[in-house]
Each structure stands twice: as C-alpha cells, then as structure tokens.
Chains A and B, each alone.
Chain A
Amino acid sequence: MASNGIKDRVAIVGMGCTPFGEHWDKGADDLLVDAATEAYKSAGVAPDDVDAYWLGTMGSGVSGLMLSEALKLPYKPVTRLENMCATGSEAMRNAAYAVASGAYDLVMAIGVEKLKDSGFSGLTGSRPPSDGTDPSMTAPATFSLLAPAYAKKYGVDEATLKQVLARIAWKNHKNGAKNPKAQFRKEVAMDKICASPSVAGMLGIFDCSGVSDGSAAAILCRAEDAHRYSKHPIYLKALSFAAGPAEGFFSQDYDFTSFPEVVASSRDAYKQAGVTDPREQISMAEVHDCFTPTELVLMEDMGFSPRGQAWKDEQEGRFDLEGAQPVNPDGGLKSFGHPIGASGLRMMYEMWLQLRGEAGARQIKSPKLGLTHNLGGAPGRCVSFVSIVGNSLG
C-alpha cells in the first residue's frame, strides 16, 4: 500500500490555452479545437502523433466522443472524466500515469467548459434523481463559512479579515490585468472591492470567482523522450489526489478553518516530490481561489503559512507577484475565470510559461518548483488535487 509517485518520469512538452471569458461565438467544440491546435503546435507535433486523450468536462458534454468528433480523431482512445472543479487536473493526472506506464508514448490532457450557454447565473449542475433532502447551500454560502470561523479561531477582528480578503481579490485582479488571456483584465481598487454588495456572509461580488468559458490542453510524454519535442520541457514531480469522507458534514469537530483533503493531498505531493519545507521550496503556486477566504485557508493547509498566520502573510504581500512566494500569478480563478473542466490545465499553463521564462509582464524571477492545486465541493466535503512541477530533473 503506497502512493509512490512518478517523480521526474513524465514531462509536459506542449501546452495550449484559449482566452477565458464569455465566448458567445464559440461552442465547446470550437474551444477544444482551439486549445488542442495550440498544444499540437506548441509541441511541434501533428494530431496523429498523439496516441491517447483524456478529456475533462463537468457538464459540457459526455463521452470521449465529444473530443474525437470535434477533432476528427482517427479511432484513438479518449477518456472523458470529471472530478468536480479538479476535473482538468484529473485529466492530466490520468494521462500522466498512462504515459508513465508505457502503454502510450505521447498523450494529451484537455479540459473544456461552456458555462455561458445555460442562461442561468452561477453554476448549475444536473443531478441524478434524488429524494429531495440534499442540503442546498450555494457555493458562496458554503465557502463564506470559512471567514468568521478563521476570524474567531485566530483572534482576527472581522473588519481586518474583510480587508485581508479584499486584498486577495485585489492581488489577483492586479495579476490578471497583466494577462492577455484572463477574463477580467483591469485592476480593481481596494475600496471598490470592500464596497461591493454582500453575496453571502462577509463575501461580496469581488470575493467570488467569475463564470466563464474556456479550454486548455497539455501534451505529455515520458521524460526520456521530452527532448524530441521541446528544448524546455517541464517535469512532473508530484501528482496527488484526495477524496474526503465528508467528515465535516457529519462531525461536530469540524470547525471550518481547514480542508483536511487539502492537507492530505499536499502532504502526499510533497512526499512524492521530496519537498520538506513548502514555504521555502515552492517558488510559486496556482491555487483554487474560488472565493477569497478559500485562498487564505489554502495557504495554511498547504504549509505556505503557519496556522493562524496566513492573514498576516497576505497583508504583508508575501503572495503578491513581487513577493517571496507568488500565489496565482496569472490572476487565479478570480480574474482568469473558472470554466470548470479547463481550470486545472490553465493553472499548469501558467507554470509552463513561468518555468520557461515566457510569462512576460508576470514573469517571476528564476522559479524552481511550481505547485498547482484544485478543490472541488465544499468545506467539509471535498476533493483536492495537488501537482508539483519543475524545469529540471532531480
């Protein structure tokens, strides 16, 4: 029984990412074609060179047929998968294991979501027939519970915490303003963020990530083959996943100041990658900032900040683009947008750019290890994915 990892055995040799936003003029198939084409080009390969595909989408299509029909694939294997908001990352994780196993030589992980076709505001999921008793708390409501719990546990007064949350939104919008592919590309002033009407609890509009369409793709191969496709591949050091037992939904001990699933998946990822001090060794991270208090708690769950200190680290700018440990340098879910199936791969796309020195105005100086993280579900009942990547072996 073990989670052995496949450190340094798989490389990403090409990536593509569409702009995220309200693409009224593009369907899911258009977005898939765009992202895939960019990824093939990035790896310098023809479509026929890719042996197998993993397609991530939560609600924009079913079956691998969705991809094979759009791309006119000649009878290649296509797995369609879903793991809530970790769907895109999950596509990559499974594609990586397939290529590491030797079953295939060159694979693609691609994620897509078309949230703007429904006409409804917010996420709408279709569920199997039910008995009508499922708790129906909205996503903003569930994540809003993190804020007062954090404030109470660590003795932070709520006005200060509100400022910290606003600063997280401000930081991510500031980063997004430097990103031509982000949905929202304007800086937003702190007082505008603080003045926005309440959505749930302490959270206003600017504390919530937006709803958008988009697609992103990665081409992977075994590390020893990477040189055939790219002079600057990036290497997967860790891939971890934790699906929780929903203990927080049943147990009175859960206090809404942590995600045990994130703690478990990040510990596993650090072990796989040989990271012993994440605060010092993780150069940059893309984390699941579906809501501002989520990012705050994630900093502690992932060991970037000691328990009860993340609010200070945020205030001091540690996680700013120019800070000691930039978090969400591409704008995060907050300003890049969150098309569910694509988000995990979009995060990896930023790590790809940063590790290859291609991040332009957002370039972080000499990053060594990057981390991507996705969370799906709600505090107390969720799944968590963590990956660690670097641009050199060892």
Chain B
Amino acid sequence: MAGITRYGSYLPYNRLQRAAIGAGKGERTVASYDEDSVSMGVEAARDAVRGAPGIDTLIFATTSPPYAEKLNAATVAAALDLPRTLRSLELGASTRMGIGALLAGADAAAGGGRALVVASDVVIGAPGGGRESGSGDGAVAFVTGPDSEAIARVVGRASATAEILDVWRLPSDPFAKQWEERFGAETLGPIVLDTATRALKDAGVGPADLKTVILDGTNARAMAVVPEALRLKPEQLADPLLGSVGRTGAAHAGLLLARALDSSNAGDRILIVVGGDGCDALVLEVTGKLAAARPAHSVDRWLGSKRNDLPYNTYLKWRGILPFEPPRRPEPERPAAPPMQRAGHWKHAFFGSRCESCGTGHLPPQRVCVKCAAVDQMREERFADTSCKVATYTLDHLAYTLQPPVVAAIVDYDGGGRLSCELTDVDPKSVKIGNELEMTFRRLYTGQGVHNYFWKARPKR
C-alpha cells in the first residue's frame, strides 16, 4: 500500500466579486495575467517538495494546458529542479484527472517510487454563465510514498469509466458546454454512488466512520446523491469553497483534500469522490505523521491573502475573452531556444551564483565576479526560497501591463545578490522600501506563440 507523504496548495491573489458580474454573493479566485496552470502548479508543489527527497515521477493534471503539444510537466519539473532521470506523465481532458493523477501517484508509490502529483487549472466560462461565476483558479500538489512515511494512507479505492455527454469542449473552443444538468445527474449519479460504495467496501469502512467526505464533479446534482444515500451528517461534508474560491477544475477535489488535511488528526478517515465521465473514489486514513509535515501555506492562509477589487473588464482582458486596444509598442519577441537551454537553471529554477573567492552573490549567474574579478570561481546557488526585500522601486505608468501601473523594483536578497524585478500580486499604494518579498514563478508573456516563464517577486503571502 501507499499514501500521501507531503502536500501543498495554491490560490491566486486576485478575486472577482460575483456582484461585479451580477451573479449573486461571494467571490471566485482569479489567476493573474501572469499565471497559468503550470505556474500555479509550481507554486503548490514548492510547499510539497520541501523536505521530500527522492521524487522519481511527476504526474501533472490540467484541463487548461498552456501548450496543447509540448510537455507542460517538463516546465513544472524544471522550475522545481527535479532530477533529469524523472519519469513524467501529463493527464487532461477531464477535471476528474486531478484525483486520477493522485491514484496514479499512489500506484507509483505502491511500486516503490515517490511521485509528485500536481493538479492545476485556470477555468474559463462564457461571460454571463454559471461556469464563469461558479469556477475558480487554483492548484494542489501531493507527494506519494510508502505507507511507512505516509501522513495519509490510501486504504480503499474504486473507479468507473462511462461514456456520457455531460460536459464537453473542442480544443478550438474557448468555453465548455454542458448538456441539461438533470440528464447528467440521472446517468452519472448512480455511477458515482456505486463507486463510492465500492471504495468504502474496499476500505472496510462505513459512512459513519468517515470524518470528512469530499464530493466534487462536473455535475453537482450527480454528486448530491451521495450524502443522502449514505446518510451523511452535514458536519461530515467538506465545504466545497464555492463562495470563496469556486470550482477549480482538475485541482478542486485535491484542494478540498489539502484543506481537510490542514485540520485533520491522526486516525481521521477521509472519503474523496470525484465524478465526471465516470468516477474515482478513494478512502484515506490520516496518520500521526501529519502534524509535522504540514506545508508552510494552508488553504485558508491563501484564502486570507487577497485583493478583491478586480474589475470585470480586467478579468475578461486577462483571460483573453475581450479584445482590446494594444499599446503602441512592438509585440514581444519569442525567447530563443538555445539561450533558454543554456540559461535553464537560472530561468526556470532561479539559480544564481556565488563567488567562492569572496562570497558575493550574483543574479543572474556570472563567470566573472563583480566584486573581486575572479574568473570561473562560482558555485551555483538557488535563490528561489531566499528572503528578499525592496531596496528601491518606482511605479511606471508608461510601461505596458495588463495591471497598471508596473511596480518596478530593485530587489536585494538576504546574504547578497540583487535583481531588477517586476513585483506582482501587489497593491502599488502599499509598496515601501524594505518590504519583505518572496519569489514566485510566473509566465511573463507569450511572444510569437512561445510562452516565456521566469520569476517575479511579490510581497510575502
């Protein structure tokens, strides 16, 4: 058997108020213009991989892949500085694949490996529709390993696959469609209930023994058959975070699991049931190792760190739904493959260099030391987790950005090193010299059809 040994989650900084789109109360999370499923997946995984050695497999699940054909998982692996010998898998086409990936990760662990499972989505719905207002953007990550190291052991599971026209989207379509929801409920509901029941039987656990039940799926009515049929009490049902986050696609079930783990105790049993073109269900049992292995950011910590004054038209621009007047500036050029390859460790994993002769840190890495002029005396050093602060900054009202003004900062790193860097996830009015910052992996822009990933700094969340 196998289980989860570490986990991490990520919610973006911005929120769209439902009132701003005439869709009732609450808010949904919105990935920034410089985020995508890869960048958010990296953020969730950073917390998960700290102190988790020996990852040999990466499984990335998303229904919003930045590239339709180029392994997005490779970018995730590069940003996390995972080993070259890594095995990688990329899953998609259904939001159920987030938990599908977790089950595959458990399989890898049962075979003696350790898998990093990342599920992440930017969910776009047609303006004015329920998918737009009811969805959210976010990511979650799990590391799997042997029972002996698990913070939550997989004690039962079951699956089903069913060809049902419920939710669908062609690759060329920006918005998904759904058949009449009652039809999906009618056909998927029984499959979901059956799968959940089989998982409980596999675990030897009854509904009353469950501390937390996580239900997520493409069809809310289908999922709703479970609490009634299993006679679950309201306090057993995990809050689906629809009012504060929205349904985060392939990440959602995992996100709710992460939140459950944020407050679970040893011995708690958790049932996760995810419906969509079939069903995946698993039963987890929390161990005594959880307390010492929680990530630096709980889901609630991400929830509480936000800016929720995003105008609707800005949201539409960020998601590319609304064409708008471009600036009088040339289109950005695509980054070139050979320079990106040479600079890969800097560009993706944020490795600078430190002079072994005099100890001066350099960002980007250099061959010649700026302080003592020693040549080729540098060792690589990763600055991605190094605390940093605003040395000075300016608000640039002229530079083109999808969230004006640009906050252009000179960032100084603890222990030496300096970088000219754009700040993101920041209220320009709040920036002060000395503000503490942390680095975050982002998609700077897409130039001539090539995504350009790198790092920015943001105020500590």
Contact = CB atoms under 8 A, between A and B. Distances in A.
Whether A associates with B in a native complex is yes
Interface of A: 118-122, 124, 127, 129-133, 135-138, 140-142, 144-145, 148-149, 197-201, 245-247, 249-252, 254, 256
B408 A131 contact: no
A197 B339 CA distance: 39
Contacts of A144: 394, 396
B336 A137 contact: no
A121 B328 contact: yes
A144 B398 CA distance: 12
A121 B399 CA distance: 11
Contacts of A252: 391, 412, 416-418
Given A129-B339, A132-B340, A120 B370 contact: no
Contacts of B329: 120-122, 124
A118 B328 CA distance: 10
Nearest to A124: B330
B2 to A, nearest CB: 38
Nearest to A204: B397
B398 A133 contact: no
Contact of A130 (B330, B339, B370, B391): B339
A251 B370 contact: yes
Given A129-B335, A137-B399, A251-B360, 7 more contacts: A130-B339, A132-B339, A132-B444, A132-B453, A133-B347, A144-B396, A201-B395
Given A124-B330, A138-B398, A141-B406, A130 B335 contact: yes
Given A120-B330, A124-B330, A251 B371 contact: yes
Given A133-B454, A140-B398, A250 B330 contact: no
B398 A199 contact: yes
Looking at B330, B338, B418, B454, the one whose CB has the most chain A CB atoms below 10 A away is B418
Contact of B392 (A129, A199, A256): A256
B236 to A, nearest CB: 48
Contact of B347 (A132, A141, A245): A132
Contact of B418 (A124, A130, A145, A249): A249
Contact of B343 (A131, A148, A245): A131
Contacts of A127: 333
Contact residues of A: prevailing secondary structure: loop
Nearest to A127: B333
Contacts of B339: 129-132
A138 B347 contact: no
Nearest to B412: A252
30 contacts: A119-B328, A120-B328, A121-B329, A124-B330, A130-B335, A130-B336, A131-B336, A131-B343, A131-B346, A132-B347, A132-B452, A133-B347, A133-B364, A135-B421, A136-B422, A137-B399, A138-B399, A142-B408, A142-B420, A144-B394, A145-B393, A145-B410, A197-B397, A199-B396, A200-B398, A245-B370, A251-B371, A252-B417, A252-B418, A256-B410
Listed from nearest, the 9 A-B pairs whose CB atoms lie closest are: A132-B335, A129-B336, A135-B420, A201-B394, A131-B339, A131-B343, A132-B452, A141-B396, A250-B370
Given A132-B340, A141-B399, A247 B347 contact: no
B254 to A, nearest CB: 30
Interface residues of B, number: 45
A250 B418 contact: yes
A131 B335 contact: yes
A145 B363 contact: no
Given A119-B328, A132-B444, A149-B392, A198 B338 contact: no
Contacts of A132: 335, 339-340, 347, 444, 447, 452-454
A234 B217 CA distance: 83
A331 B210 CA distance: 80
Contacts of B338: 129
A128 B335 CA distance: 10
Contacts of B444: 132
Contacts of B364: 133
Contacts of A249: 418, 420
Contacts of B363: 250
Given A247-B370, A250-B363, A252-B412, A131 B396 contact: no
Given A135-B420, A245-B370, A250-B418, A122 B398 contact: yes
Contacts of B343: 131, 133
Contact of A133 (B346, B371, B397, B412): B346
A119 B326 CA distance: 13
Contact of B396 (A129, A138, A149): A138
B70 interface: no
Nearest to B410: A145
Contacts of B447: 132
B164 to A, nearest CB: 43
Contacts of B391: 252
Contacts of B328: 119-121
Contacts of B410: 145, 256
Contacts of B335: 129-132
B342 interface: yes
A368 to B, nearest CB: 39
Contacts of B330: 118, 120, 124
A199 B408 CA distance: 13
B112 to A, nearest CB: 37
A124 B421 CA distance: 20
Nearest to A135: B420
A199 B336 CA distance: 31
Contacts of B366: 250
A118 B366 CA distance: 35
A140 B398 CA distance: 8
Looking at B346, B364, B410, B421, the one whose CB has the most chain A CB atoms below 10 A away is B410
